[in-house]
């Protein structure tokens, strides 16, 4: 699977460093050419000689060393790699990466490389949970660094929790997956999903039946296609995909603000959320009492997120979702035109077997030039088809 691929394995100074030997062996077994960089601390945990024997190459470690630079210098190593895998990645090295520190060979190579970087963090559960580490991790993910693990389980120190390095097989699989054909590789994709909630008073709100399943499936499919995904989600009861940056919002206005910010520098925006068209004109600051026989709520129009995103981003590839109960194609086409979308996905939410809260969907993919019917199937499969369509369209435009 990894034939002729060049994998640069960074090993940092954690107890899981002994497992790196097995990872290097497996990568070689899959046909990869492997070079190893060890931090100073890593060499306290496992001998460079072991890694040299297993990788078939001298281990790199020193940054300021004339002999090492004369061999394969840090910039050369950075250019050599198709993928950089850091396993284990210590809390310390994660912090260094976040700041862009270059006082070690591995730090310098990370900064200089254009290769995709994967890290397999491994540390004590309290260190993993710490605010500083979590902030660092989210910064790195936003930058496109891909996380593998960590896992939950018993730890070398006797604790139990999240922080164990992912299984070697999972790490090697994640590396292999990088070489699948990734149609949205390195594209920045922003996706909205789920419903929004508009408050009536402190305890009540208006919402809709969106489960978020379609938008979340779109996020998964885009991640698999190699995109860096920001998922802006309304309140849902499903778990977030891994390897993407999630922003949780409640109201349509919050979703609009988060979308506008996330779209800076983005390539694709997919509006799969069921955004409330209206919100209460006034939100009661106190719970409305059950005294009057009837009450009247006045609503005012919410901002149209897709229209505003188009206004602010002329070149963004913009995909809308339209939940319709009648004249599906006609209404879809009207939205496509009026909101200046590149494409729209329409579905019939009047049907009980597809659409809202269902695991399946049946949709039309509509562009200015064509309409394609996608047969009823699992939302994950529909999402894969839609992401493939988006990738094809982007290639056709560029």
Ligand X SMILES: Cc1cc2nc3c(=O)[nH]c(=O)nc-3n(C[C@H](O)[C@H](O)[C@H](O)COP(=O)(O)O)c2cc1C
Place of tokens 């200015």: 368
Residue 85 beta carbon to ligand X: minimum distance, rounded to whole angstroms:
15
Q: Check residue 119 for interaction with ligand X (CB under 6 A).
A: no
Q: For residues 395 and 389, is the Cβ–Cβ distance under 8 A?
A: no
Of 15 and 72, which has the nearer Cβ to ligand X?
15
Catalytic residue among 157, 244, 263, 280: 157
Quote the CA–CA distance of 286 and 304 in Å, as a whole number: 29
Q: Can you tell me which of 37, 91, 193, 262 binds ligand X, judged by CB under 6 A?
A: 91
Stretch that binds ligand X, among 61-69, 121-129, 166-174, 309-317 (CB under 6 A): 121-129
Q: Can you tell me which of 32, 34, 84, 93 binds ligand X, judged by CB under 6 A?
A: 93
Of 41 and 378, which has the nearer Cβ to ligand X?
41
Residue 92 beta carbon to ligand X: minimum distance, rounded to whole angstroms:
4
Q: For residues 118 and 175, is the Cβ–Cβ distance under 8 A?
A: yes
Q: For residues 168 and 19, is the Cβ–Cβ distance under 8 A?
A: yes
Residue 79 beta carbon to ligand X: minimum distance, rounded to whole angstroms:
23
Of 17 and 172, which has the nearer Cβ to ligand X?
17
Q: For residues 164 and 128, is the Cβ–Cβ distance under 8 A?
A: no
Helix or strand (DSSP H, E) at 246: strand 245-248
Q: Check residue 20 for interaction with ligand X (CB under 6 A).
A: no
Q: Check residue 136 for interaction with ligand X (CB under 6 A).
A: no
| β-strands 317-324, 268-271 pairing | parallel
Q: Check residue 92 for interaction with ligand X (CB under 6 A).
A: yes
Cα–Cα distances (Å) from 28 to 122, 236, 324, in that order, read: 22, 43, 53
Q: Check residue 13 for interaction with ligand X (CB under 6 A).
A: yes
Of 14 and 271, which has the nearer Cβ to ligand X?
14
State the distance between the two ends of the chain, measured CA to CA, in whole angstroms.
30
Q: Check residue 39 for interaction with ligand X (CB under 6 A).
A: yes
| β-strands 116-121, 146-147 pairing | parallel
Of 123 and 193, which has the nearer Cβ to ligand X?
123
Q: Can you tell me which of 1, 15, 102, 199 binds ligand X, judged by CB under 6 A?
A: 15
Kindly state the greatest CA–CA separation across the chain: 88
Place of tokens 């199937």: 377
Q: Can you tell me which of 86, 87, 123, 244 binds ligand X, judged by CB under 6 A?
A: 123
| β-strands 146-147, 371-378 pairing | unpaired
Q: Check residue 42 for interaction with ligand X (CB under 6 A).
A: yes
Burial of 381 from C-beta contacts in 10 A (0-12 / 13-18 / 19+): middle
Q: Check residue 46 for interaction with ligand X (CB under 6 A).
A: no
Q: Check residue 90 for interaction with ligand X (CB under 6 A).
A: yes
Helix (H, G, I), strand (E, B) or coil at 337: helix
Quote the CA–CA distance of 105 and 8 in Å, as a whole number: 12
Give the footprint of ligand X on residues 360-389 (CB under 6 A).
Answer: none
Active site annotation includes 244: no
Residue 152 beta carbon to ligand X: minimum distance, rounded to whole angstroms:
15
Residues near ligand X (CB under 6 A) are: 12-16, 39, 41-42, 90-93, 122-123, 127
Q: Which residues are catalytic?
A: 157
């Amino acid at each position: 699977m990894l034939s002729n691929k060049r994998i640069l394995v960074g090993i940092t100074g954690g107890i899981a460093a002994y497992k790196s030997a097995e990872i290097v062996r497996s990568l070689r077994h899959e046909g990869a050419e492997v070079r190893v960089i060890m931090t100073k601390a890593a060499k306290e945990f496992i001998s460079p000689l072991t890694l040299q024997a297993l990788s078939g190459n001298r281990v790199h470690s020193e940054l300021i060393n004339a002999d090492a630079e004369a061999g394969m210098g840090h910039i050369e190593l950075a250019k050599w790699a198709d993928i950089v895998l850091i396993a284990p990645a210590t809390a310390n090295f994660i912090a260094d990466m976040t700041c862009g520190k270059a006082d070690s060979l591995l730090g310098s190579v990370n900064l200089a490389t254009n290769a995709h970087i994967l890290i397999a963090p491994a540390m004590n559960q309290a260190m993993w949970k710490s605010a500083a580490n979590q902030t660092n991790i989210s910064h790195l993910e936003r930058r496109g660094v891909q996380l593998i693990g960590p896992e939950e389980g018993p730890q070398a120190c006797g604790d139990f929790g999240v922080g164990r390095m992912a299984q070697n097989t999972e790490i090697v699989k994640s590396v292999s997956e990088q070489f699948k054909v990734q149609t949205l590789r390195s594209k920045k994709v922003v996706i909205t999903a789920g419903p929004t909630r508009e408050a009536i008073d402190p305890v009540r709100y208006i919402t809709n039946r969106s489960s978020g399943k379609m938008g979340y499936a779109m996020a998964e499919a885009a991640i698999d296609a190699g995109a860096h995904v920001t998922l802006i989600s309304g309140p849902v009861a499903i778990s977030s995909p891994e390897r993407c940056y999630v922003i949780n919002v409640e109201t349509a206005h919050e979703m609009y603000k988060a979308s506008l910010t996330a779209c800076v520098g983005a390539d694709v925006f997919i509006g799969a959320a069921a955004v409330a068209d209206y919100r209460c004109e006034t939100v009661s600051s106190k719970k409305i009492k059950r005294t009057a026989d009837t009450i009247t709520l006045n609503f005012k129009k919410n901002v149209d997120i897709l229209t505003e995103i188009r206004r602010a981003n002329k070149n963004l590839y913009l995909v809308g979702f339209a939940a319709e109960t009648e004249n599906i194609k006609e209404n879809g086409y009207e939205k496509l035109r009026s909101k200046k979308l590149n494409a729209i996905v329409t579905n019939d939410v009047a049907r009980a077997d597809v659409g809202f809260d269902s695991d399946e969907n049946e949709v039309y993919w509509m562009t200015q030039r064509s309409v394609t019917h996608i047969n009823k199937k699992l939302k994950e499969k529909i999402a894969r088809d839609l992401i493939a369509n988006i990738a094809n369209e982007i290639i056709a435009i560029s």
